[in-house]
Amino acid sequence: MTAAPKVGVLALQGDVREHLRALESSGAAATTVRRQEELDAVDALIVPGGESTTIGKLAAAFDLLEPLRMRIKAGMPAFGSCAGMIMLADRIEGGVEGQQTLGGIDMVVRRNAFGRQVDSFEADLDFAGRGALRAVFIRAPWVESVGAGVDVLGRTEPGDRIVAVRQGPLLATSFHPELTGDSRVHSYFVEMVREL
């Protein structure tokens, strides 16, 4: 893909504007997605942070839950940050009864694993061998376990918790790279989209 890939940000809740800015600075044509026709028009999608149960309910209310699942299953590249990581998980711990995800990554994610809002923090970590970057964790999940096809791209230090993963065209972080002004994670995702 030589032209700028068209990357949507699921605009139901969360840091939509911040993700749009980070995508544009990474060479993507960024747009919002709230309807199926907008989803159909993008090459890839970001599922931002927010509250995972609310995102699931809003996706269902906007008739996007099944179209999102079908596009992901068909190989559309997607990146989920924080609540978006939960949404891309095949299995979750600590979820509410009946909580729905989009799935796609063979992992178990623990919801709110690092604690409540008051427990939010920042830390430096190595992401995908690209050097230290500042990671912002807000009511963040972590990955309890991954399947054989999942690459671990980042861990906390200390604690050694898995906080960034990739499986094929899917990327997920438990932190919010859109909040730091460092677009390396978004650039990595845009590179993934170009390669596919």
Band the pLDDT of 188: cuts 50, 70, 90: very high
The residue annotated as part of the active site, out of 178, 186, 191, 195, is: 178
For residue 58, is pLDDT > 60?
yes
Give which of 111, 107, 115, 125 is closest to 83, Cα–Cα.
Answer: 111
Residue 157: active-site member: no
The residue annotated as part of the active site, out of 176, 186, 191, 195, is: 176
pLDDT at residue 121, as a whole number: 83
Residue 82: active-site member: yes
pLDDT at residue 1, as a whole number: 54
pLDDT tens-place string over residues 1-36? 557 999 999 999 988 999 999 999 999 999 999 999
Residue 191: active-site member: no
For residue 117, is pLDDT > 80?
no
pLDDT at residue 130, as a whole number: 86
pLDDT at residue 62, as a whole number: 94
- C-alpha span between 118 and 45 (Å, rounded): 30
Give which of 114, 111, 134 is closest to 185, Cα–Cα.
Answer: 134
For residue 74, is pLDDT > 90?
yes
Q: DSSP per residue over 134-165, as a string?
A: EEEESS--EEEEE-TT-EEEEE-TTT--EEEE
For residue 132, is pLDDT > 60?
yes
Domains delineated in the chain? 6-195 (3.40.50.880)
The residue annotated as part of the active site, out of 18, 19, 82, 186, is: 82
